Structure 1
Amino acid sequence: MKKPVFIPLFLAFLVLFILVIIPDRWIESLIPKNRISQAATELNPVMFQGKYIQQKMLEDDRYLPIYGSSELARLDRFHPSNYFQEVHEGFTPFLVGRGGTESLIHFLNFSEHMDQLKDKKIVFVLSPQWFNPQGADESHFVPNYSSLQGYDFAFNKQVDPEVKKRAIKRLLTYSSVKNDPILSTLYKAEITNDPWIKREASALRPAAVVYRHLLAKKDLYYSLAGWFSRHRDLTPKVRNKSWDQLAQEAEHYGAKRATNNHFYISNSQYNKIKGFLPSLKNKDLKRSYGESKEYGDFQLVLDVLKQSGAKPLFISVPVNGHYYDYTGFPKEGRAAYYSRIKQQIEADGFQVADFSDHEYDPYFMKDTIHIGWKGWVYTDRAIKEFYEGSDQNLAMMNF
């Protein structure tokens, strides 16, 4: 006898209903105690697009959050996550970000955790490549956008209203926000005096509350489900060495891995571009990082960090000068960025480790855009000085 087709559908809805009504505290009690330490180097999008794992990490003084983008995944032996594990400085770097995680994504994340950021030391790695004229495009924003953080932001009463309005106007330019009928209506109601939109937002608010709760529940289940490991180079060769010795070792390490090109980048990365390298010659003659929508997005980051009382150190990463000269990218267009970003950070009273003088330093970069070997040594030193609270030493450090 043929089974009724509605039975599997009914069972599916029953299972979903049970998963939804299970109290959050029950799920939290099942999440392994070592989940936070596991997540520290995994760079799992589920974690930084969620809330639970980061909230627990920020409440724990053992962790130093490092926010950035794709450079965080270059886990060579000089990477902060590996270096500080070897030298036992008393804290564990916790990495948040991946390729395309630019200022606006970080702003939403910081807005989510304002309560946990007060007096919290954090590190924020900046990439010049974010600051193209149009800022973050759809291809970078959409994969990194968090619906949970987007909905939480709609209900956020902590963020300064003027900052929130600026952020909403920017968020509404992206498809993942403007094509969400509930969220976009809530956002529009914040920035308009139109009574119809405000009434519509009021009517939709209960649905938004329910959906927001479902997203938070999903985050808990993802936190419970488990993670994946990421390869790390933990060769113990960084302990009991001076910074000069480490820089020399990083240079030797890089020299062995960058033997087939004059850009001082790893052989494997050069092999990826050498086939079409002639087409890259002088292709960037008219480019500049001096003007970009990203500066406005980055100001949102500064504003929310300042309001929350966080204590950030910004790492200003250079470009690979040899490669950028080859593509014809004007030095003036690079210098404009270095100067502007430093002034913007310092205007809000924050610290910046400025590495812009290292554009031509061999093996400072691992490829055409990502910090590597020697660059990580300088970054480790800046982080150590910052964590120990030596503001004067950081300001006087010869980067």
Structure 2
Amino acid sequence: MIKQRLGIIFGPLICALVLLAGLFLGPWKINSHNPATLAHASTAMTDAVFQGDTIKNEAIASGQYVPFFGSSELNRISSFHPSVLAQKYNRGYTPFLLGAAGTQSLTQYSIIRSMAKELTGKKAVFIVSPQWFVPKGIKESYFNHHYSEQQVYDWLIAMTHVSDTDVYYANRLLSFSKVAEDNLTASALKEVRVGHLPTAWQVTQMKLQLLLLTREDDLFSGIGLQHNLQGKIDQAATLLPDKDDRDQLYALANEQGQQETNNNTFGIKNSFYNAHLKNKIGKMAGSQAEWEYRYGPEYSDFQLVLNAFAENKVDVLFIIPPINQKWMDYTGLPQSVLSGFAQKIRHQLESQGFTSIDDLSDQGNVDYFMEDTIHLGWQGWLTADAQIKTFLEAPRQAPSYKINNQFLSKEWQEQDPLE
């Protein structure tokens, strides 16, 4: 009788544990990553895709997708977004969108490292947003939201020697509470930041953790991919002319921009203005006079990205977007801040051999170039597309990079662009 009662009580629990163990330790996958799954993932912009390896790596390995690294501008869909133009005009590439609000250089470095094998020798597009480069660097909430334990464990386990890049990255990771409060990760990072490899015991523990995280990625990263931008892309594509004609497209961009920004004097999309600015517009006058984009840790975080691209011989087009000039004038953001940021970024890129740069930072006064205060709009995406199309359709040139780790230093972070 007692055994029966124990069986009734504990039997279901034991069965559940056995099933769970089989699920995580068995050889099967819930998601067979067929072309439809990869297509959904290319515009899903979910953390499950960013933080894991399975889907995004398979997509890039297929050769059918080009990674577009950036942040929140990637989900601003209009008829002139790169995904819309590539689909409408059957270009020989499909963007795989890797970015969302808060995916700045540290997150992008982690993503790039995690797909190094698949990305090696290929092309990529990287959008460098001025608003990342605030004096204190990425917000802790942004970092925490996109942080991938799986990718950090993979990096630490694979390490065979400690480079300057590793030391800098370890220090940066330890500056965030989500990492510092994880005893295993923090202890391994503390070894790296003093030039030591993680201990054998730390590696053993991380391998066990990584096994579970990788299995979770295999099983569940495809969930929710149906909630993507494809519907908006399809709709936006119907508004484009059948022929990829620049003159027609520029005229249409003006027409759409004018229609969608007619309730304010800033050239800002009506819906954005109503939702985010209308009720506080008076308070915004002169509010950005003390803002700064010329100094801070983001410049060295960005160097991590360059180091990863160089290590894997990735040919990259960098796009530097502007800020809405009318909004800058109203809020008092000094022109010297934006031009100084662009000058500093261009020096960091060009001096190390990254010469494919589309610097649009002086185009913020062009009508309908921006959708809102900081994101590319109708004319902006169309202007960027001219460079994107040329870059991606041209034969790949083997890059020749000369990495300078002085850009990881505090001195560079605080360097005056004028000097």
Counterpart residue number, 2:209:
211
Q: Distance between the aligned counterparts of 1:249 and 1:391, measured in 2?
A: 32
Instruction: Compare 202-211 and 250-259 and name the one that shifted more.
Output: 202-211
Instruction: Give yes or no for contact 1:254–1:373 (8 Å, CA) kept in 2.
Output: yes
Judged with a 3 Å threshold, the aligned counterparts in structure 2 of structure 1 residues 255 and 158 are, in CA distance, closer, same or farther, namely farther
| Residue 285, structure 1, aligned to residue 283, structure 2 | no
Which letter does structure 1 place at the counterpart of 2:364? E
Instruction: Give yes or no for contact 2:70–2:127 (8 Å, CA) kept in 1.
Output: yes
SS class of match (2:66): strand
Counterpart residue number, 1:202:
200
Q: Distance between the aligned counterparts of 1:340 and 1:360, measured in 2?
A: 21
Which letter does structure 1 place at the counterpart of 2:205? A
Which letter does structure 2 place at the counterpart of 1:331? Q
Task: Give 1:20's match in structure 2, choosing from 17, 24, 45.
Answer: 24
Instruction: Give yes or no for contact 1:111–1:159 (8 Å, CA) kept in 2.
Output: no
Which letter does structure 1 place at the counterpart of 2:252? E
Which letter does structure 1 place at the counterpart of 2:213? L
Give the C-alpha shift of residue 158 in structure 1: 7.4
Judged with a 3 Å threshold, the aligned counterparts in structure 2 of structure 1 residues 356 and 244 are, in CA distance, closer, same or farther, namely farther
Instruction: Give yes or no for contact 2:358–2:387 (8 Å, CA) kept in 1.
Output: yes
Instruction: Compare 64-73 and 13-22 and name the one that shifted more.
Output: 13-22
Instruction: Compare 205-214 and 234-243 and name the one that shifted more.
Output: 234-243
Judged with a 3 Å threshold, the aligned counterparts in structure 2 of structure 1 residues 193 and 384 are, in CA distance, closer, same or farther, namely closer
The aligned runs of 1:184-199 (5 Å cut-off) are 184-192=186-194
The aligned runs of 1:1-399 (5 Å cut-off) are 4-23=8-27, 26-27=28-29, 30-157=32-159, 161-192=163-194, 201-225=199-223, 227-229=225-227, 230=229, 231-232=231-232, 233-272=236-275, 273-350=277-354, 351-389=356-394
Q: Distance between the aligned counterparts of 1:136 and 1:380, measured in 2?
A: 28
Instruction: Give yes or no for contact 1:87–1:238 (8 Å, CA) kept in 2.
Output: no
Moved runs in structure 1, 4+ residues, more than 6 A?
A: none
Which letter does structure 1 place at the counterpart of 2:363? H
Instruction: Give yes or no for contact 1:124–1:314 (8 Å, CA) kept in 2.
Output: yes
Judged with a 3 Å threshold, the aligned counterparts in structure 2 of structure 1 residues 159 and 203 are, in CA distance, closer, same or farther, namely closer
Give the C-alpha shift of residue 224 in structure 1: 4.7
Which letter does structure 2 place at the counterpart of 1:213? L
Q: Distance between the aligned counterparts of 1:314 and 1:169, measured in 2?
A: 26
Give percent identity, aligned residues only: 33
- Cα deviation 1:202-249 (Å, max 9, x = unaligned): 323222111101000000112354522334122241442432331221
The aligned length equals 386
State the TM-score, normalized to the length of structure 1: 0.91
Unaligned runs of 5+ in 2: 398-419
Give the C-alpha shift of residue 55 in structure 1: 1.2
Q: Distance between the aligned counterparts of 2:308 and 2:383, measured in 1?
A: 27
SS class of match (1:88): coil
Which letter does structure 2 place at the counterpart of 1:357? D
Unaligned runs of 5+ in 1: 393-399
SS class of match (1:95): strand
Which letter does structure 1 place at the counterpart of 2:49? M
